[in-house]
A and B are shown apart, each in its own frame.
Chain A
Amino acid sequence: MNDMRIVLRSLSARRLTSAVTIGMVMVSVALLLVLLSLREAADQAFRRGTGNVHLLVSADASPLVAVLNGLFYANAPANPISWQKYQEVAGSFPWQWAIPTQLGDSFRGSPVMATDSAFLRDFEPVPGAPFRFSTGRAFEGEFEVVVGAHAAREHALHCGGKIVLNHGSSGSREGGHEHADHPYEVVGILQPTGSAHDRALFTNLESSWIIHAEDRLEQDGASESEADHDHDHDHDHGHIETADLADEDKLITGILLRLPTRPGSDASASIAPQMDRLRRDTSITVAQPAQQIGRLMAIVGDVDWLFVVMAVVVLVSSAISIMLAMVSSMELRRRQVAVLRVLGASAWRVFFLTITESTIIGVIGAILGAALAVVGCQVASAVLASRIGMVIGGVVDLRSASMVVAGAVVLSVLAGVLPAIKSYRTPVARHLRPIA
């Protein structure tokens, strides 16, 4: 027999109350840890998508919009950039790479990015982790498309399949106009990256330019016929080749830039000077993606802290429930305390026995809560990965878990103080009398 056995017996004597109280602590701790983990996961998910890009050039209204559109496919950028501007920017500095991108088309709501082969080769959606193919290869010729992992799963696309793209994204004014004359062949499926790129499809710029050039010619032809009804309608709106493309057809919506860095480093001292230099050109918007995502997280950070505060309130309320459960059982406890005192236990000893009891409730609840959070996060991670292709860590941060468990234990100790004081002050003789 020892003090711990006394406490455990006391808990088991009120096993229903003990179980419910432990359950409350468990749920509170699990909720708090899951919220903290999801907050961290959301932050990581945003940071993943920017990859190893140092600078993003677009004609969007603001740097943040440029990043959300250009790297997270929020919307098709409204304003294009000319090919001449791309060449001007690309030739203005010895970049490690300068990748042109064009957004605007879609496939059943999934965004399509037209770019060059360097995107799938050099751009890393997660720094240090380049694109990898689940099956197939990168696009090489016109009208070949590579599909992101989530898009492939969502639309049941496989290598060798043919698809027809829509002009405009699903939410745009142009949405719904199909490029039915030019079916694309799926030549590659990418592995999941845990970024927004998993939702996208990738093709080369020339394919997109050809389609849009043909659209333009068709619209020009229709305008001419409306203007001159007597004119013979014998224009040949046949297929255009790459060589036929005019400068006005070669439009892009973004330029991804990376500066040379030392091996093993992602940073470059030239980022800020080059950004300042490019910003002097008022026709373009220059964004530093990592910085913009940091700003975005700072904005939404205040909101998700509210969830954390709510979870802390739940944790505190579980501590109060420990106290209430112990205080409500005080009549039974006082008789037990009186007997312990008669048998030789000091007032301080019963004080600490009571504190130990609340602490054990807190420790068991916190450990079970942490375990529940670990399992819950892994399940959530697996579900998110399989359902929407979102890759989150699925791991409860050890530091967060330690702090939350320690906090829960401290709160449970504090919750035991009032019942412990009542135990300490129990008038022994009065509580030894037979219950009337």
Chain B
Amino acid sequence: MVIAQQDSVSSTGVSIANLQFSYDRGFQLRIPSLEVARGEQVLLAGPSGTGKSTLLHLIAGLEEPLHGVIRIAGEDFLKLQGSRRDTFRGRHIGMIFQTFNLLQGFTAIENVMLSLMLAGYSTEEQRRRAESSLGRLGITDLHAPVETLSIGQQQRVAVARAVAGEPSVVLADEPTASLDPENASATIQLIKEAARNCGAALIVTSHDPLLRSLFTRVIEVTG
């Protein structure tokens, strides 16, 4: 994977330097430099299999690079080990997935409160933030099990979970892959607004060319 476009910004949410990653089967990812400021919203565009999701996993500390530096909110994230990295991730990174990855059997508010608990918030603060975040995204039935909600409502719960803790970075991995163009556009607007409201850097991956017009900064990813 090669980053085709890059801007330099200040007040970084994410800062990457000399990042290199490789799977055993030969896939290689090299990113000399990438910075995304807090409040900035970036689309990683490109076809499937070019490493967009892998980059998000690297930024979230879920994959280990061969070498390189990733700073989140100024912290050299990769130097954090074990539970310290996990706690940092919970506090500073919100993730949104194509299939939402909500926890089945938990209610809408419990899904959001769970992420806040793992980020270190008190129970009272968890409840306050979760109610506020879900309310802003139009979820009224807070205590419904997520599997009973409509697809659209589940997506909103997933967005609320990602932004409720006011993270430094929101990573959205192909959030519109299974949606029609109209709903895809609405979903992206929803995620952008939620990220903007919490002041986070937003990085969205998508292979859908129709989404390019919704972002001022688009980074082409090629194989």
Contacts and interface: CB of A to CB of B under 8 A. Distances in A.
Contacts of B103: 9, 336, 339-340
A9 B106 contact: yes
Contacts of A250: none
A292 interface: no
Contacts, number: 80
A185 B62 CA distance: 92
A1 B60 contact: no
Majority-rule SS of A interface residues: helix
Nearest to A339: B101
Interface of B is mostly: helix
B118 A432 contact: no
Given A429-B63, A432-B97, A434-B99, A343 B114 contact: yes
Given A1-B126, A428-B62, A344 B101 contact: no
A338 to B, nearest CB: 8
B71 interface: no
B13 to A, nearest CB: 17
Interface residues of A, number: 28
A10 interface: yes
A433 B115 CA distance: 19
B105 A12 contact: yes
A6 B118 CA distance: 11
A13 B103 CA distance: 10
A35 to B, nearest CB: 37
A340 B105 contact: no
A258 interface: no
B174 to A, nearest CB: 8
Interface stretch (B36-44, B87-95, B183-191, B202-210): B87-95
Given A2-B123, A9-B105, A346 B110 contact: no
Interface of A: 1-2, 5-6, 9-10, 12-13, 335-336, 338-349, 428-429, 432-435
15 contacts: A1-B116, A10-B105, A335-B101, A336-B103, A340-B114, A340-B118, A342-B95, A344-B90, A344-B115, A344-B119, A346-B86, A432-B62, A432-B97, A432-B101, A434-B99
